[in-house]
A and B are shown apart, each in its own frame.
Chain A
Amino acid sequence: MRKARAGGDDEAVRQNGSSSRRRTDQHPGDGEDHDSSSGGVQDDDDDNDLGLRREIRSKYRDLINSVQQNREDMLSPSNNKLTEVLEEANKLFKDVRQAREAALDAQLLVVATDLGKEKASQLFSEGSAFDPSAFAEHLLSFMGLNRLEDEDDEPPNGCASDGYLPKDAWHRLARRAECCFRTAPSFHYMMGSFYTEPPPPKQRIERQRKAPSKEAKRIMPTQLKKMEESHQEATEKEVERILGYLKSYYQDDPSPISYYEFVIDPNSFSRTVENIFHTSFLIRDGLARLKLDSDKLPCIEPVEEEEVEAAGSFSRKQCIVSISPKIWRVRSF
């Protein structure tokens, strides 16, 4: 009932502007004898008037602030704060004489009617109303708010209550809320992408290496050259040496020699591997030939010098020879 009355007043004012209220109020206002200084008399002392004007304006501003700050409280259907505010405004309005105060009054009405509309919408919806501030309070508890024991009843700025909200508060809420979302998990490569940082350090290392090597070259050019030559020569010499052995064995006994007998050194595995390596050069260059004998064992024989040139027309076959210390131990006899 009281709400409806407040609504009725608002409607009348909204239609006709603030002047209509003055008309409706003047009748009871003349009867009441509240403020002798302003009742009907327009030309008071200037000082009093100014002071009163300021007071009225500041009261209006307070009212507007209180409505805006405590909006959620006022919306709650459990109290009549909105009606109280309107009655305050009514009282103040009786003293309003100038446009400035009337403007503030109008502003207060806009704010109050907005609130009234909100309250009305709550009335119309069926089921229980939803109060966001109650929701917020419960949420804070859920998030683990640690309320201090001596908290004020009404925080002055109308914002957060006292208490310490833990760091993982929002994480806790997010975890609980996950079940409400059907979010697709984001796709990321498991190992990520490669970093592009290595290049700069590598350049520095290269420059450092280049510097000493240049000097080294200047100091000992002749020695280096000798080293390189000896490397190449060593291989070639070995290959030729083995060819020599092969030819000499063949001269003594012109039948294919067992390959394994030829390459294996019974005393040294590494020598055996070296022999296989050098023999492969002979075969590659067509100076020796590998074939399988009647027992399907490989045997090797040198190629005649006339055959070497014609060998290019034959199709080359490749094979891979492997040997390990185990096999070598068995084989060496």
Chain B
Amino acid sequence: MTQRKRLSNVQSSSQSKRQSNSFMTQEEDEDATFTQPSTSQVQRGLEKLTAAQVDQKTAEVVQYILVKDQKKIPVRRADLVKHVIKDYRTVYPEIIKRAMLTFEQVFGLKLVEIDSKNHMYVLVNNLDASTARPSPVERPSNPKMGLLFVILSVIFMKGGVVRENLMWNTLKKLRVDPGQRHEEFGDVRKVITDEFVRQRYLEYVRVPHTEPVEYEFRWGQRSDMEVSKAQILEFMGQLLEQDPQSWTQQYREAHSTASSSQASSSNHR
């Protein structure tokens, strides 16, 4: 009932749809009806809506993203527009801006666009992890994080790319065999090459010109945002009883990307 009221207020929606159809070739198929509106369009759109309406829509977006993030699969802009934003697409940038503010100020989370080509968002913890001690709240730990940690560490220490054979051999030493069902992780191959990849923690790409087909592992876009290379190096140093600085290349990489990855997260079209 309230939706019909809102429809009558947003009069500019038909205009923007006509405009956006001409740009259809630039977007992907599912995103065909949505182009990023210009700032003047956003201004005009905002004038036609009350503050309460925009706040309501912002709240809906926040809730949608929070629930979608449970499975850690990135939120696609196309889905967001289709299911939540709907007729408010002219003011989409404003809504996203407010949603980001809400996440930061209310939840201590950061909404980050990890893929500016396909427009996907993830939620990352905004709290300062370096000063945080182990959480006083007893949270049940997820063993898959341990597995992911091993994989990411090996990739990082090996310079960013690892052939899948090396990965499987290393994991076999830890009693994780892709050919056998693991009692903790189940279908290991599926978890690593499918689930972690869909969550954008890993990239599993084919190496060109290999016969039989071989794949290699790299860090995924989510890992670039979420995982601290410096912390991995610290743990590595503790585990192997070496000074983290003895791995000079990795050390350099860990302490230079720490600042740049956080800076890049704030950019979004």
Q: Which of B14-22, B40-48, B150-158 contacts A (4 or more CB under 8 A)?
A: B150-158
A126–B146 touching, CB < 8 Å: no
Q: How many Å lie between the Cα of A181 and that of B152 in the bound state?
A: 11
Most chain A CB within 10 A, of B170, B232, B251, is at: B170
A71–B146 touching, CB < 8 Å: no
A160–B172 touching, CB < 8 Å: yes
| A-facing residues in B44-71 (Cβ within 8 Å) | 66-67, 69-70
A171–B235 touching, CB < 8 Å: no
27 contacts between A and B (CB under 8 A): A127-B247, A130-B157, A130-B247, A132-B169, A133-B170, A134-B240, A135-B154, A136-B174, A139-B150, A140-B173, A159-B177, A160-B172, A160-B174, A170-B147, A170-B184, A171-B143, A173-B149, A178-B141, A179-B228, A181-B145, A182-B125, A182-B225, A184-B69, A184-B122, A184-B123, A184-B125, A186-B69
Residues of A within 8 A of B (CB): 71-72, 125-128, 130, 132-140, 142, 159-161, 165, 170-188
A180–B228 touching, CB < 8 Å: yes
A165 neighbours in B (Cβ, 8 Å): 175
A159–B172 touching, CB < 8 Å: yes
Instruction: Please name the residue on chain B nearest to A142 by beta carbon.
Output: B239
Instruction: Please name the residue on chain B nearest to A130 by beta carbon.
Output: B157
B174–A140 touching, CB < 8 Å: yes
B69 neighbours in A (Cβ, 8 Å): 184, 186-187
B248 neighbours in A (Cβ, 8 Å): 126-127
Query: What 9 new A-B contacts, CB under 8 Å, besides A130-B247, A135-B170, A174-B142?
Result: A127-B248, A128-B246, A135-B236, A176-B235, A182-B129, A183-B72, A183-B226, A185-B139, A187-B70
B175–A138 touching, CB < 8 Å: no
A174 neighbours in B (Cβ, 8 Å): 141-146, 149
Known A127-B246, A127-B250, A128-B246: A180·B235 in contact at CB below 8 Å = yes
User: How many A-B contacts are there with CB distance less than 8 Å?
Assistant: 134
A180–B125 touching, CB < 8 Å: no
B249–A177 touching, CB < 8 Å: no
**CB of A155 to closest CB in B, whole Å:** 10
Known A132-B166, A177-B235, A179-B231: A185·B134 in contact at CB below 8 Å = no
Q: How many Å lie between the Cα of A175 and that of B127 in the bound state?
A: 18
A135–B239 touching, CB < 8 Å: yes
**9 tightest CB-CB pairs across the interface, nearest first?**
A170-B143, A173-B146, A127-B248, A174-B146, A177-B149, A136-B173, A184-B123, A130-B157, A187-B66
Complex partner residue of B240 from A138, A159, A185, CB under 8 angstroms: A138
B159–A125 touching, CB < 8 Å: yes
- Please tell me the number of chain B residues within 8 Å of chain A, measured between CB atoms: 58
Instruction: Please name the residue on chain A nearest to B66 by beta carbon.
Output: A187
B72 neighbours in A (Cβ, 8 Å): 183, 186
**CB of A111 to closest CB in B, whole Å:** 11
A159 neighbours in B (Cβ, 8 Å): 172-173, 177
Q: How many Å lie between the Cα of A323 and that of B82 in the bound state?
A: 58
Q: Mark B171-191, 1 if CB is under 8 A from A, else 0.
A: 011110100000011000000
B166 neighbours in A (Cβ, 8 Å): 132
B240 neighbours in A (Cβ, 8 Å): 134-135, 138
Known A138-B240, A175-B141, A181-B226: A132·B170 in contact at CB below 8 Å = yes
Q: How many Å lie between the Cα of A138 and that of B250 in the bound state?
A: 19
Instruction: Please name the residue on chain A nearest to B127 by beta carbon.
Output: A182
A133 neighbours in B (Cβ, 8 Å): 169-170, 173
Known A125-B249, A135-B240: A178·B145 in contact at CB below 8 Å = yes
**CB of A186 to closest CB in B, whole Å:** 5
Q: How many Å lie between the Cα of A137 and that of B175 in the bound state?
A: 11
Known A127-B246, A175-B141: A184·B175 in contact at CB below 8 Å = no
Known A71-B169, A160-B175: A179·B134 in contact at CB below 8 Å = yes
Instruction: Please name the residue on chain A nearest to B137 by beta carbon.
Output: A185
Most chain B CB within 10 A, of A133, A134, A177, A186, is at: A177
